[in-house]
Amino acid sequence: MKRRDFLKSASALAASTAVSAPAVFSPAKAQSRQETLLIVSESGPNNLDIHGVGTNVPGYEVSWNCYDRLISHEMKTGSNGQPYYDKNKFKPELAEDMNIGDMSVTFKLKKKATFQDGTPVTAKDVKWSLDRAVSVGGFPTFQMGAGSLTKPEQFVAVDDNTFRVDFARKDRLTVPDLAVIVPCVVNSELVKKHATEKDPWGMEFTKQNTAGSGAYKVASWVAGTEVVLERNDAWMGGPLPKTKKIIWRMVPSAGNRRALLERGDADISYDLPNKDFVELKQDGKLTIVSTPYSNGIQYIGMNVKNPPFDNIKVRQAVAYAIPYQKIMDAVLFGLAKPLFGAVPDAPTEVAWPQPHKYNTDIAKAKALMAEAGYPNGFDTTLSFDLGFAGVNEPLCVLTQESLAQIGIRTTINKVPGANWRTELNKKTLPLYTNVFSGWLDYPEYFFIWCYHGKNSIFNTMSYQSKTTDDFIDGAVNAAATGDNATYDMDVKGFVDTAYADMPRVPLYQPYVNVAMQKNVSGYAYWFHRRLDYRTLAKG
Amino acid sequence: MLTLISRRMMLVIPNLIGVVIITFLLTRALPGDPAAYFAGPAADKQAIEQIRVKLGLDKPLIVQFGRYVADLGHLNLGNSLTTGQPVLTEIKNRLPASAELTLFGLILSMSIAVPLGILAAVKQGSWIDHTCRVVATAGVSLPVFFTGLLLVYVFYFLLGWSPAPLGRLDVFFSPPPQITGFYLVDSLLNRDLSTFRAALSQLLLPGLTLCIFSLAPITRMTRASMLAVLASDFVRTASASGLDSRTVILTYAFRNAMLPVVTTLGMVFSFLLGANVLVEKVFAWPGIGSYAVEALIASDFAPVQGFVLAMAILYVLLNLIIDVLYGIIDPRVRLET
Amino acid sequence: MTDISLSPHGAAAAKAQSNSIFRHARYVVAENPVTGAAFGLFILIALCALIGPYVVPYDPLASDTSATLASPSFKHWFGTDQLGRDIFSRVIVATRLDFTIAISSVMLVFAMGGFAGIAAGFFGGWTDRIVGRISDTIMAFPLFVLAMGIVAALGNTVTNIVLATAIVNFPLYVRVARAEANVRRDAGFVQAARLSGNGDFRILLMHILPNIMPIMMVQISLTMGYAILNAAGLSFIGLGVRPPTPEWGIMVAEGAGNIISGEWWIALFPGAALMIAVFCFNLLGDGLRDLVDPQRRT
């Protein structure tokens, strides 16, 4: 405690002397500082267009703020008392009206909406943009497909202001999928001018330039260093944002990001180690908002196709050997929602993620190992993504230590971030930890990707179970037809099966942590977990 | 002189070819699959294969190499996957940042190390000599990233004397119009003193980090070369003829001793540009070193190749310039070649 | 001191000389207390590497989540890290690995660069040209990035870190060895050996090598420090050894993020150990240089 007091007095002293150091506080600059938000994060976008090839996650944030969609979500109050998007309630963004029919949905566009270059937004632009999303391949096309939006023929420009989406089949994810980042509306005339034969969708142009109708536009972008965004004063998608200018700087060192926040130089940062968030929270100088990932978990996966993890007893033994609480305390500093140790007679809920009933119980794990025919254990490797080493490495070290107690001797394998996806997709890693989260917050959505026998790339365990498949398919159909009773039964069914078979052991629901100065308000949690600049305000 | 330069250039070409080949092979051996990276997290095998064909990565290595060399001929270094920009523009934009930092660190280091070296040589064997040695060696014994972090902690976080470690300029400054690419020089040319001060204050900590790291080689060099000169006949003659020791050391010995020091500066410079890699990472410096590290970790071929090539050319040019300069300064060298 | 550094020389070349060298060494140490201190440190480090793992108070790998991030105390002299592991034990145990990395990388580069350099200097001609080309090409690389590239490409194991460090130092060894061999190529003792019917290879090994050994020892001592720094740098960017193996560089890199939040001990103690080791190797190299090169000590 004394050290902290010392730090405080030292930084207070520093604050009083620091005024002269930057020497920037001319009145005009102070004014611009008031209307400017400085965001610091570890990495920045590699492409300003979410339809681009290999656009990274920071790029999504640019797209979200610079482009509009037909519809967006209403806000509600989340479990932590903070604004949280309401997955069931939609609000118009570019559309002023949405009319859901039996096999189609029709939108009326806002007549006054214009792109940032002044041209009006028409149904033709919307069609071109959605055609683009389902045609370019890669992630955007995949995400559209998740809502059964796969063919350009599904998108119809009825007239200049009316746009219709025809359903390929009944799917309750179709409309929510129109509110994610991907189906953004692009200024088609502007982009077509820059399209070439090799690049019919003008992706080279939108990579470097924003061409939307959104609340912000990118004023300058130095890759890997800085993005500067300016407000679009003619935005029609919602109330005019309070912040005129966003400066988003990339600061690779987490320690420096923390220092910048603590010294009051940066306004917001959201990728700090958990420990920093906990300490900043205790310090009370900053506002810290923690929200659990929607539909996301960190888990330990096992390859069920090959021995020894093809043995259900071994998998259960692992589930009993993981030092859950130690991980919660020493790795996450309590900033996560535990997914273990539910009381034995707790009923399964119609929800995902939900805790399983395993707890750390080495004796039980040892017994299971003996039953499985591995009384002396075995050797294997435990892999993790080096890109998230801050959590993964201590997590794996603790797990390694604990598994050693039941005879599973592991070598820790650090996989560089660039290689992680490739390694995972080979589906040969015997034992690994990873995070999966889906934008669309529905249990069956998670299970289709991660547990279904059609073996999508996210079923990294190669898990195959007829029972699970039936439950998942049943739930999908029940959701489409609105058969709630069957839906509830099927969801409970696949959760129970997954927890009995344990191909992957959920550890916890990670938190999205955001630290901001006290004078910053308007942070809201979104399914994509990135910042929405439109509601942020300072002072 | 021209023949000397052209002869040197001829000698250098095989080295550059070697660098190109080794870099190419090394980057291809990196783990990670650019096609999978490009295809995004949700891509299936087919999508990855499509991207692979698009990037030309399905071709045999030798074909890829041919294409790479052909592109090099057109000064096309390819595109970075992680930042999405052409490598050549990125290097052009980032090189001045690294060069400014390195030069600043080097000058800082020279201004401390040379006097230290002279002092150590003059007071050879005394406690001053030992102290100089210990101080300089201590500097080179710390990992640069550690020194950097420590300086940030003390001077920014604890004392608040230094501005936030956020790259070349405080966020609320705009960079001076580009003339040389060195913010210090450009802001002075524009008579923009406040920008100059801001740029200087950002430079100080990373510059100091590099300076601490390079003290030892320069001190050592200066000391050794001073010792050699002090023992030489002409210095003995000078002191024997009654000149006071100050004149002898500063006028006669120092000048001659500086010659070998200057020549090795080229080496130290390129060595520092390498050490920069870590310093840039700590100080969020938008230089080419941090660019290369990020690229290497992400198995992003093009920037790594571009970076290594740029550094190799720089190194070669630097040495050439020094050789030529040396020839001009010291006529004996010219005769020998 | 002579026993360690100069025994190849003494054994192979001039036994009679060893006495005088011993005296010279004593003179140098007496003259130069810093070298003496460095030598003492060296012994200490070697001792830690040898017996460290058997005497540390805690298992360096054992976590203890009830005592995480504890500041230095009587129980944990250097405090504990995020997982409650005892930093003192980890620092001591890491000595062996870091020492091994340093020693094996210099041995390797000595075997490669030293011999290539001697051959280049002794034979001249094509051998010289080829060796020169190779080392020039390596020199043209930004060295740390080359090391990074090698480790990233081949995988981050101790062996590859050693290999990368060795390759990066190759040109240095070639340069020194070549220069020394070149000078001695036509020396009297070489001619004498040749006249008495020794082959080139034998002369190289039995006569030239022992003679340039002292100067190479200086190089070895200096590059040992560099090897440790190199490994630390690689750890900092995530290319170090596998967790949970204790290694100084990785411990500093891991603790670096905690400096701002006040847990200075996590990075400081391994950092200090690292610095002391590198410092000691460097000073020792300097001292050896003085020992080897009596002209500088007039």
C34-73 pLDDT tens trace: 778 888 888 888 898 888 888 888 888 888 878 888 888 8
Domain coordinates in residue numbering, chain C: 32-296
pLDDT of residue C2: 37
Residues A272 and A361 both lie in one domain: no
Instruction: Say how far apart CA B106 and CA B262 lie, in whole Å.
Output: 12
Mutate to test the interface with B, among C145, C264, C274 (most CBs of B within 10 A): C145
Q: Between the ranges A467-481, C19-33, C37-51, where is the mean pLDDT highest?
A: A467-481
- pLDDT over 80 (residue C9): no
**What's the whole-number mean pLDDT along residues A398-416?**
91
Instruction: Say how far apart CA C231 and CA C164 lie, in whole Å.
Output: 9
For A329, the closest of C65, C243, C259 (CB atoms) is C65
Q: What tens digit of pLDDT does each residue of B77-102 get?
A: 888 877 777 888 888 888 888 889 99
HEC letters along chain B? CHHHHHHHHHHHHHHHHHHHHHHHHHHHHCCCCHHHHHHCCCCCHHHHHHHHHHHCCCCCHHHHHHHHHHHHHCCCCCECCCCCCEHHHHHHHHHHHHHHHHHHHHHHHHHHHHHHHHHHHHCCCCHHHHHHHHHHHHHHCCCHHHHHHHHHHHHHHHCCCCCCCCCCCCCCCCCCCCCCCCHHHHHHHCCCHHHHHHHHHHHHHHHHHHHHHHHHHHHHHHHHHHHHHHCCHHHHHHHHCCCCHHHHHHHHHHHHHHHHHHHHHHHHHHHHHHHHHHHHHHCCCCCHHHHHHHHHHCCCHHHHHHHHHHHHHHHHHHHHHHHHHHHHHCHHHHHHC
Per DSSP, what are the bridge partners of residue A218? A229
- Residue C239: Cβ within 10 Å count: 28
Long-range contacts of A100-104 (CB under 8 A, 24+ apart): A100/A175, A103/A166, A103/A167, A103/A170, A104/A164, A104/A165, A104/A166, A104/A167
Mutate to test the interface with B, among A42, A53, A267 (most CBs of B within 10 A): A53
- pLDDT over 80 (residue B250): no
For B29, the closest of C153, C225, C286 (CB atoms) is C153
CATH number at residue A35: 3.40.190.10
Q: Which residue has the higher pLDDT, A210 or B77?
A: A210
Instruction: Say how far apart CA A501 and CA A201 lie, in whole Å.
Output: 46
CATH number at residue A174: 3.90.76.10
Q: Which residue has the higher pLDDT, A104 or A426?
A: A104
**B71 CA: distance to closest CA in chain A (Å):** 19
Instruction: Say how far apart CA C239 and CA C246 lie, in whole Å.
Output: 14
Query: What are the strands, taking DSSP E only, across A294-396?
Result: 296-302, 336-338, 378-385
Q: Which domain holds residue A276?
A: 3-64+214-285+518-538
pLDDT band at B333 (very low <50, low <70, confident <90, very high): low
**B219 CA: distance to closest CA in chain C (Å):** 12
Per DSSP, what are the bridge partners of residue A413? A383
**A360 CA: distance to closest CA in chain C (Å):** 14
Question: Nearest-CA neighbor of A33 among A307, A285, A264, A238?
Answer: A264
Residues A378 and A482 both lie in one domain: yes
Tokens of B30: 């990196």
For the ranges A26-40, A42-56, A118-132, C120-134, which has the lowest average pLDDT?
A26-40
* Residue whose entry in the numeric block shows the structure tokens 């600049």: A533
Residues A90 and A38 both lie in one domain: no
Question: Any chain B CB within 8 A of the CB of A417?
Answer: yes
Instruction: Mark yes or no for CB contact C63/A401 under 8 Å.
Output: yes
- Residue A300: Cβ within 10 Å count: 23
Instruction: Say how far apart CA B220 and CA A79 lie, in whole Å.
Output: 64
Q: Which residues of A touch C241 (CB under 8 A)?
A: none
Q: Tell whether A291 is covered by a domain.
A: no
Residues A308 and A373 both lie in one domain: yes
Question: Nearest-CA neighbor of C102 among C217, C225, C280, C246?
Answer: C225
CA nearest to C246 within chain A:
A397
Q: Between the ranges A161-165, B31-35, B175-179, C120-124, where is the mean pLDDT highest?
A: A161-165
- pLDDT over 80 (residue A250): yes
- pLDDT over 50 (residue A19): no
**B326 CA: distance to closest CA in chain C (Å):** 20
Percent of chain B with pLDDT over 90: 4
Q: Are A289 and A269 in contact (CB under 8 A)?
A: no
Q: Tell whether A199 is covered by a domain.
A: no
**What's the whole-number mean pLDDT along residues A89-96?**
92
pLDDT band at C163 (very low <50, low <70, confident <90, very high): very high
Instruction: Say how far apart CA A439 and CA A296 lie, in whole Å.
Output: 9
Question: Any chain C CB within 8 A of the CB of B317?
Answer: no
Residue C126, classed as helix, strand or coil, is helix
Q: What tens digit of pLDDT does each residue of A356-393 get?
A: 999 999 999 999 999 999 999 999 999 998 888 889 99
Instruction: Mark yes or no for CB contact B149/A253 under 8 Å.
Output: yes
Per DSSP, what are the bridge partners of residue A269? A40, A515
**What's the whole-number mean pLDDT along residues A457-484?**
90
Instruction: Say how far apart CA C190 and CA A227 lie, in whole Å.
Output: 68
Instruction: Say how far apart CA A424 and CA A434 lie, in whole Å.
Output: 9
Question: Any chain C CB within 8 A of the CB of B143?
Answer: yes
Percent of chain C with pLDDT over 70: 88
Q: Are A414 and A393 in contact (CB under 8 A)?
A: yes
Q: Which residues of A touch C68 (CB under 8 A)?
A: 329-330
Q: Which residues of A touch C256 (CB under 8 A)?
A: 253, 255
Q: Which residues of A touch C262 (CB under 8 A)?
A: 3-4, 7
> What is the residue type of B20?
V
Can you give the C-alpha Rg of chain A in angstroms? 25
Residues A320 and A422 both lie in one domain: yes
Residues A179 and A60 both lie in one domain: no
Residues A373 and A425 both lie in one domain: yes
Burial A4-42, CB ≥16 within 10 A → b, else e: eeebeeebeebeeebeebbebeeeeeeeebeebbbbbbb
Question: Any chain C CB within 8 A of the CB of B270?
Answer: yes
Residues A12 and A93 both lie in one domain: no
* Bridging pattern class, strands A226-231 and A216-222: antiparallel
Q: What tens digit of pLDDT does each residue of B141-187 get?
A: 888 888 888 888 888 878 888 887 778 887 667 778 878 888 888 88
Q: Are A351 and C87 in contact (CB under 8 A)?
A: no
Chain B / chain C CB contacts < 8 angstroms:
143
pLDDT band at B29 (very low <50, low <70, confident <90, very high): confident
Q: Tell whether A207 is covered by a domain.
A: no
Report angle CA B108, B112, B118 to the nearest 5 degrees: 140
pLDDT band at C89 (very low <50, low <70, confident <90, very high): very high
Q: Tell whether A206 is covered by a domain.
A: no
Q: Which residues of B touch C274 (CB under 8 A)?
A: 141-143
**What's the whole-number mean pLDDT along residues A62-74?**
95
Q: Are C95 and C52 in contact (CB under 8 A)?
A: yes
Q: Are A333 and A278 in contact (CB under 8 A)?
A: yes
Residues A132 and A172 both lie in one domain: yes
- pLDDT over 70 (residue C212): yes
Mutate to test the interface with C, among A2, A331, A401, A411 (most CBs of C within 10 A): A401
Instruction: Mark yes or no for CB contact A416/C152 under 8 Å.
Output: yes
Q: Which residues of C touch A254 (CB under 8 A)?
A: 257
Q: Which residue has the higher pLDDT, B70 or C205?
A: B70
* Bridging pattern class, strands A504-517 and A336-338: antiparallel
Question: Any chain A CB within 8 A of the CB of B192?
Answer: no
Instruction: Say how far apart CA B273 and CA B103 lie, in whole Å.
Output: 9
Q: Tell whether A498 is covered by a domain.
A: yes
Helix (H) and strand (E) counts for chain A?
Answer: 18, 20
Name residues 499-518 of chain A within 8 A of B (Cβ).
none
For A54, the closest of B44, B81, B194 (CB atoms) is B81
Q: What is the mean pLDDT of chain B?
A: 81
**What's the whole-number mean pLDDT along residues C280-284?**
86
**B184 CA: distance to closest CA in chain C (Å):** 26
Q: Which residues of A touch B83 (CB under 8 A)?
A: 46, 223-224
Q: Tell whether A303 is covered by a domain.
A: yes
Question: Any chain B CB within 8 A of the CB of A413?
Answer: no
Residue A526, classed as helix, strand or coil, is coil
pLDDT band at A114 (very low <50, low <70, confident <90, very high): very high
The residue count of chain C comes to 298
Q: What tens digit of pLDDT does each residue of C230-249 get?
A: 888 888 877 878 878 899 88
pLDDT band at C8 (very low <50, low <70, confident <90, very high): very low
Helix (H) or strand (E) holding A436: strand A431-437
Question: Nearest-CA neighbor of C146 among C241, C239, C275?
Answer: C239
pLDDT of residue B332: 59
- pLDDT over 70 (residue A344): yes
Question: Any chain C CB within 8 A of the CB of B101?
Answer: no
Chain A / chain B CB contacts < 8 angstroms:
170
Q: Domain C32-296 is of which CATH architecture?
A: Orthogonal Bundle (1.10)
Residues A345 and A390 both lie in one domain: yes
For A398, the closest of C83, C260, C261 (CB atoms) is C83
pTM higher than 0.90 for the full model? no
Q: Which chains touch A (3 or more CB pairs under 8 A)?
A: B, C
Per DSSP, what are the bridge partners of residue A403? none
**What's the whole-number mean pLDDT along residues A457-463?**
88
Query: What backbone torsions phi and psi does residue B230 show, to the nearest 5 degrees?
Result: -60, -30
Q: What is the mean pLDDT of chain A?
A: 88
Question: Any chain B CB within 8 A of the CB of C2?
Answer: no
- pLDDT over 70 (residue C294): no
Question: Nearest-CA neighbor of B219 among B134, B293, B316?
Answer: B134
The residue count of chain B comes to 337
For B149, the closest of C153, C256, C278 (CB atoms) is C256
Residues A444 and A473 both lie in one domain: yes
- Residue A106: Cβ within 10 Å count: 17
Residues A359 and A434 both lie in one domain: yes
Q: Which residues of C touch A276 (CB under 8 A)?
A: 261
For C242, the closest of A275, A329, A412 (CB atoms) is A412
Q: Specify the number of domains making up chain A.
A: 3
The residue count of chain A comes to 539
Structural domains of chain B ordered from first start: 90-336 (1.10.3720.10)
Mutate to test the interface with C, among A322, A397, A411, A412 (most CBs of C within 10 A): A397
